[in-house]
Every structure is written in structure tokens, then in C-alpha cells.
Structure 1
Amino acid sequence: MNFHHYVPEPAWDELLRGGTRRSYSPSAPLMQQGQTSDSVVVLIQGTVKVTESSRAGQVVPLALRGPGELLGEVGVLLNQPRSASVWAVNRCVGHSIPASTFRSLVERKQLTGALHRFALNRSLEKEAHLRSLRCDPTEIRMARFLTHLALEVGERNGQSVTIQLGMDRAELGLMLRMSRATAIETLGQLKALGLIKCGRKHIEVADIEALGLYTSQEMRNVI
């Protein structure tokens, strides 16, 4: 669930009014790791990719986020530099809100509780992802991850859902602790079952429920 789900509509509308509407072209940065946290961005259109650069210089994709998300709030609230970078996957539209304005709105609209629930939900999602990385076989790991992305950032077209990944197979494998070759092979297995179709930087999930059912059936077989 994104931040919009936790905020009453009047407060959400005021958040948008407190910022400047901006458009971002594909691959454009919305914010970059290490920068001063002088604003937050409320995303209202498009998909973004969150990445982190290691000390060795490796860029690690962390997550994809979609409309209704709040970006950069941790650095603003803690008065710390950006801990990650955010890049537009496709054309995105967001409202950039100055840090002081955002902090004032949080206090005036009593949004601390919403921010806490939002952060807790993200923490639980991270725990579930890490648990899957530790315990699940590769095909289950991939199926769970694609199901999550389809629900979070998928673009519905009838029964199917398109996920704009904004990353190649090597990056996708990195997110799931797989090699590029293993990621390709695992996607091929799901494709052969008719659960997904693969494009260069997008994946179409034919039926989210079927993908979820496959996961549960495979898990029962493993157990």
C-alpha cells in the first residue's frame, strides 16, 4: 500500500497544493543519493526506480514505486542526506514539496500516525522480501516478487497487468540475489507456463491470481 492509502483525502489534496508540479522524462533523476534532503516528492503518475550506490561503486536497485508514493521523507524528517537515488522509469509526474512546508503540513494535519503506519508497512514488506530471498527457491522468489510489483506498480489492461521494470535482467537478478543467467532461466520457466510475457524492460503478468496460485502450489510441493 502506498502513502496515499494512509492519508485522508483533504490532507492529501493539501499536500499536493503545497508543492510544485513537475514532469520527469524516462531515466531522469527525481533525487540523488548524498544530496541534501531539501524536499519530498509526491508521485502522482508513472513508475520510479529506487537505487543505492555501494562504496565499491555498484548501483543496486532496491524497489519500484508508483503513483501515490511519498519519496524522500526519511531524509527530510531526520534532517539527513538522501540515502538513495530515485529515477523515472517512464514519464512521471510528481509534486515537489519543500522540506519546511512538508514538516509544517505533517504537524498541522496530524500526519505523524500515517507516516508511522506507512513506514511500518514498508518495513514489513522488506522483511517479507528478505525472508523470500533466504528461504524460497528461485522460481518462487521470482513469482512472489512479480506478484508484488504487479499489485504495487502494475498497469492494468483487462485481466493482464504490465510491469514497467526500467531495468535489465542483470539488475532484476541483483534484486533477487540471482545471476543474470538464473533470472533469465527463471523468467523462461514462468513464461513457458503462460503466467508471464517478457519484453526488454517490461513484464506482462497474464493473471495475478494465477501467478499467486502457482506460488502457493509450488510452495506446498516444496514443503
Structure 2
Amino acid sequence: MSARTRQRFLELGTTVTYGARQHVFRQGEESHHVLVVLDGLVKVFVDTEFGRPVLLGLRGRGDLLGEMAMLEHRRRSADVVTCTPARVKLIGNAQLTTFFDRRPDAWAAMAGSLSQRLSGANVRRAEFVACPAPVRVGRVLAEIARAYGVRTPDGWDLDVGLTQTEIASLAGVALATFEKALHRLHRSGLVHRKSRRIVVDDLAGLSRFGVADRANPYQYGIRDEDVAQS
């Protein structure tokens, strides 16, 4: 969208501040507004019929959430919880729809965002079927580091307010499988643990680890039975 439309968009709604680990949206509740993340990080997850929550993704500054429920006139399909303290903009559905109707470039921007999210979901679904578990873990850790990691003298600190169980869920693996893959990454000099957090020592190397290719120097033994599957 144009700079002018973006400025008008940010003038909509009400700015609200949340602490860490606070619910912003709840799965199944009525949809009355959307939110835009201004600062901080939130996680999106669903409760499944088997009683096991599944983490769908992370959203940060500039991301819009709740628009699908608004467009389809249905209840929330997922929970949104803050990972860190966050500042968000809450915009009523009716106000946002009126704004979009008057500014076609805003509609186009939202459609582009939804398309990117769908493409990302398709890629992740293909990875679940085609990629060994350690590759998926490596890719998820590299994605988090690039998007939200904090550069420190020790490496890229993944201080994003996620548990290892949640990161494992994002990679589509069981916690035990995630821990085995993490141990492998540690032995390869790619990551280490620090105060219950994960620090990426070598982001370039971790990115190479996440490439399922015979030329990958880290792929030797990747199909060990204890780590190959989720």
C-alpha cells in the first residue's frame, strides 16, 4: 500500500499494551476486531481434538491477525498469545472494512499478505512429508533466528518466549525427537543452550543443515533411526 494509506491505516483503532504470555485472541470466540502488531512478538496456536496444542507460527511487527475471521464472518480459528511484552493496534471489523472499501491498495496489500501466508503453509506441509525431522528442526531454528533472534557475542539468541515443546510443534516433531536433533546440532557446532534458551552459533551453517541435499556436509547420518522421523 502507499505511504499515505499506511499512515491512515495506523491511525485506525486503539493501541493496547500486553505483558508476556497474555491472551489476545481465544479460539472459538466471536470476532469483533483485528489486530496489528506494532512491537513485540505473538504466537498463533490451535487446540486439537486430541488435546495437544499445535503452534502454527509467530507474528511480529507489522503483521495483521484476525482478518480471516473478519472476512469469513466466523469465530476465531486460533489462539493468539504474546510471547514477549507487546504493543498492538486493535481495529474494529466494521471500521477496517470501511477503510478497505475506500482504499483499494489496502485490499491488495491484505490479499498479498494472505497469499504469502498460504504459500508458507503449503511449504511447511510439504516439509512435514518430505523432510527428515532434523532438517525440519534446523530450518525452524534458522527461520526464528533470522526473523526474531537477538545478535549477541555468543551468537543469535532465540529469546522469543517459546518453550522447546512449542518449537518442536512448529517443526512438526515430538519433543523427544526435537531434543535428539538439537543434540546433533550442538555436536555439529551450530547451536548451544543457555539458561533454557537456544543460541545459534553458526547461522550460515544452520541454514546449510536445513537443506536436504546430498552435498550438505551436515547430512551424514541424518537418517539415523533415532532422529530421522518425528
In the superposition, the TM-score normalised over structure 2's length comes to: 0.84
Runs of 4+ aligned residues of structure 1 deviating over 6 Å after TM superposition are none
Q: 1:19, 1:199 → 2: CA distance? A: 40
Q: How does 1:137-152 map to 2 (within 5 A)?
A: 137-152=132-147
Q: Alpha-carbon deviation of 1:34?
A: 0.9
Letter of the 1:190 partner, please give it: L
Deviations 1:85-130 (A, max 9, x none): 1000010111111111111222222122111111111111111111
Comparing 56-65 and 33-42, the one that deviates more: 56-65
2:186, 2:18 → 1: CA distance? 32
Task: Call closer, same or farther: CA 1:200–1:31 in 2, change over 3 Å.
Answer: farther
How do 1:173-188 and structure 2 match up within 5 A?
173-188=168-183
Question: Are 1:203 and 2:202 an aligned pair?
Answer: no
CA RMSD of aligned residues (A): 2.3
The equivalent of 2:224 in structure 1 is none
What is aligned with 2:16?
22
Identity %: 24
How does 1:1-223 map onto structure 2 within 5 Å? 7-110=1-104, 111-157=106-152, 160-199=155-194, 202-216=197-211, 219-221=214-216
Structure 2 letter corresponding to 1:21: T
Q: Which moved more, 1:106-115 or 1:79-88?
A: 106-115
Rg: which structure is higher?
Answer: 2
Aligned-partner Cα distance in 1 for 2:155–2:139: 16
- Which stretch has the larger CA shift, 53-62 or 67-76? 53-62
Per the TM alignment, residue 75 of structure 1 is displaced from its structure 2 partner at its CA by 0.6
Q: Following the alignment from structure 2 to structure 1, what is the Cα–Cα distance between the partners of residues 195 and 153?
A: 22
1:17 offset after TM fit, Å?
1.1
In structure 1, C-alpha distance between the alignment counterparts of 2:39 and 2:24, rounded to whole Å? 13
* Farther-moved stretch of structure 1 (93-102 vs 163-172): 163-172
Given residue 171 of structure 1, which amino acid in structure 2 is its aligned partner?
Answer: E
Residues 19 and 193 of structure 1: is their aligned pair in 2 closer, same or farther, counting only changes over 3 Å? Answer: same
Structure 2 residue ranges without an equivalent (≥5): 221-230
SS for the counterpart of 2:21 is: coil
Q: Which runs of 5+ in 1 are unaligned?
A: 1-6
Give the conservation status (yes or no) of the 8 Å contact 2:13–2:91. Answer: yes
In 1, are the aligned partners of 2:137 and 2:168 still within 8 Å (CA)?
Answer: no
